[in-house]
Amino acid sequence: MEPNVGHWRLVGGRRGLVLVPAHRPRPWYTPELPQPRMRDGARVGPPVGRATPAGWSFAGEAPERPPVIGFFVVDARWDPIGFEVEGRQISPALFAAHLAALGTTRPILLSPHRPEGSPAASRRILIELCQAFGRPVTTAEGTIRYAADGTASTDGAFRRWHPAPRPAEDLGSILPAPAVAYSGDAEPRPPRTETVTPAGPAGPVAVGPGWAGLLDVRGRTRSPKVAEPRPPVRRAPEAGTAASSIPHQSPASTTPAVPVGPAVEMPPAPVVPAVPMRTAAERPAPVAGPVKAAAVLASGAEAATIPAGPAGPGAGLWLPDAEPAVDPAAVRETLGRSYDAHARVVARLLSENPGLRAVAGPSTAATAGLVAVRSYLLDENAALNAALRGETPVDETRALLLAVTARHGLVRLPSVFGPVFRNLPADPDVTVSYRPGEELEEPGFVDVDLVPAAGDGVAIEFAIWSTSARRVGGLGAGESAALFPPGSRFSVLAVDEPADRTAPVRVLLRDLATTGRGRAGPESVDRVVTRLREVARPSGVIRPAGRAGFPIGVDRQQRRFRRGAPAHLRPSGSGPAFAERMERA
């Protein structure tokens, strides 16, 4: 039954009625919509950031560092909230898209650009990054140091983060990890049984059966090499050597088993004059007890007779001219628990001084520098100066770390332009001499005060015209305290001998940090000397001789420090024109 109901028909069957169209629909063709075509020359641009020799940088800078073997180094900024790209905070998923756009198949090593926190604090975003990226990512707990041999090292440890739930792996402190010798339970190799007979004077070398196979390759017999003795060398006896002291060898013991060429006659050794030795009567008699320094004022011929001090154990420890990067993590590890106590004082000082906070900035390197300055003022004064001046054997790495970090913090403190003062205590075992016109270099820190002060037992009063000293008031020293950084250079302007022999000697110095060598004219020198003599009178303040009782630019044996001197030898004496008495009778 197929009733006609207009455009539709009812068709009956076993399963009931079905409504179908009365006419077959017309066929039609629907073409695909045209996709937008890229114009000629248009391509997808490169990822955000810059290429570096080691990989890629999203931090806005392209550091010139060597690549790391087996890793693609990516410089980035991040914190516990997210990652920063082009000055905007983005999510870990979006940063994973940036990493995927790089198209590298090597493992990713994320290098923090000026890290503000440890990667452990950013654990959540690192796991989310690996989850979205689909690959593990490696980070470091501390500053990463890159070597030219393709390795990277850190003070903490490298960690490889994986998508959850797989935990992070500890890769050690060096990438790639150094090869480790296999020490399993393998069977030890049996010892060799063949023996090698030493070569005789007239016969071939006898070897065991195992070595014979190495000598006979592919059935070709090689004749063994016969060890021939070298011809005897006749040497002329040295000057002063008695003939009876020369050992005599019999002809039988020196006759070779094979014929040799004629003997080689060597030229005679140069005659060196013997050093005259003092007899027991000529040697000076020992003196009981320490020898006190006497009052000496040498000039003319007497100045040439002043002996230079003996060679010291080592030259001063000089800091590099170029300021290296500060490692806050290493400073924290070196100072231990005292770092946090010093850091709280530094944070309070920065909060109370907006100008100082604006200069120092919020970086951890500046905070570590100020912490190192405070540690020097309170704890490390004597030990650090003794290390820089080469007076005591200490840990050189620790001394350089603290000194470099403290110098980094000093440059962020306000400078002093004008007169500063320093008192040197009397020492019966030390004699110091200065000469007007000479230049001094001091490898250690120089503590000074802004106000002249009197004190008991003072031998020398230094009056210095400063251009590079920094105020350290508020960091643990007095409000009038200042500090010169290591490596400061000074010029001796004048030495004022007092009329009263019980009064201290006054030495006038000029800071050469900005004036340069030989640029100060006579008129400027005269003005500085006049000004220093006017303000060097004690103000009535009684202050001890000083925290660091050492002469500027001179060691305790009257030798001048010079940059670039060999590490095993101190600079020799410079022939001073006069000596200052360190203890007055």
Residue 234 main-chain phi, psi, to 5 deg: -95, 125
User: 3-state DSSP call for residue 146?
Assistant: strand
Residue 531: inside a domain, yes or no?
A: yes
Whether 518 and 538 share a structural domain: yes
Residue 294: inside a domain, yes or no?
A: no
413, 433, 463 — which closes off a domain? 413
Token pair belonging to 311: 């060679």
Environment class of 329 (CB within 10 Å of its CB; exposed 0-12, middle 13-18, buried 19+): middle
CA-to-CA separations, 42 to 33, 38, 45, in angstroms, rounded: 22, 6, 9
Residue position matching structure tokens 């140091």: 145
Query: Residue 421: enclosing H or E segment and its boundaries?
Result: strand 415-425
Whether 422 and 386 share a structural domain: no
Whether 335 and 451 share a structural domain: no
Q: Tell me how many degrees the CA angle 481-483-489 measures, rounded to the nearest 5.
A: 140
Whether 480 and 550 share a structural domain: yes
Predicted local distance difference test score (pLDDT) of residue 569: 44
Predicted local distance difference test score (pLDDT) of residue 286: 44
Whether 93 and 120 share a structural domain: yes
Residue 132: inside a domain, yes or no?
A: yes
pTM recorded for the entire structure: 0.46
Whether 397 and 357 share a structural domain: yes
Residue 565: inside a domain, yes or no?
A: yes
- How far is residue 82's CA from residue 129's CA, in Å, rounded to a whole number? 10
Residue 567 is classified by DSSP as T
pLDDT single digits (tens) 466-505: 999 999 887 876 667 899 999 999 999 999 888 877 778 8
Whether 461 and 402 share a structural domain: no
367, 389, 413 — which closes off a domain? 413
CA 581 to chain centre: 40
Predicted local distance difference test score (pLDDT) of residue 474: 79
The residue segments making up the domain with residue 528 are: 299-312+415-585
Whether 308 and 443 share a structural domain: yes
Residue 16 main-chain phi, psi, to 5 deg: 115, -165
User: 3-state DSSP call for residue 96?
Assistant: helix
Whether 356 and 383 share a structural domain: yes
Total of domains in the chain: 3
Whether 442 and 568 share a structural domain: yes
Whether 304 and 438 share a structural domain: yes
Residue 287: inside a domain, yes or no?
A: no
Whether 582 and 474 share a structural domain: yes
Predicted local distance difference test score (pLDDT) of residue 47: 73
158, 175, 192 — which closes off a domain? 175
Q: Which residues of the chain have pLDDT under 70?
A: 1-6, 25, 28-46, 114-121, 177-315, 358-362, 394, 427-431, 454-456, 477-479, 514-523, 538-548, 564-585
pLDDT single digits (tens) 227-255: 555 555 455 454 444 444 445 544 444 44
Residue 221: inside a domain, yes or no?
A: no
Residue 232: inside a domain, yes or no?
A: no
Burial annotation 339-359 (CB, 10 A radius, 16+ → b, else e): beebbebbeebbeeeeebbee
Question: What is the pairing mode between strands 55-57 and 72-78?
Answer: parallel
Q: What is the DSSP string of 221-271?
A: --PPPP-PPPPPEE-PPPTT--GGGSPP--HHHH--SS---PPEEPPPPPP
Residue 248: inside a domain, yes or no?
A: no
Residue 403 main-chain phi, psi, to 5 deg: -70, -45
Predicted local distance difference test score (pLDDT) of residue 292: 34
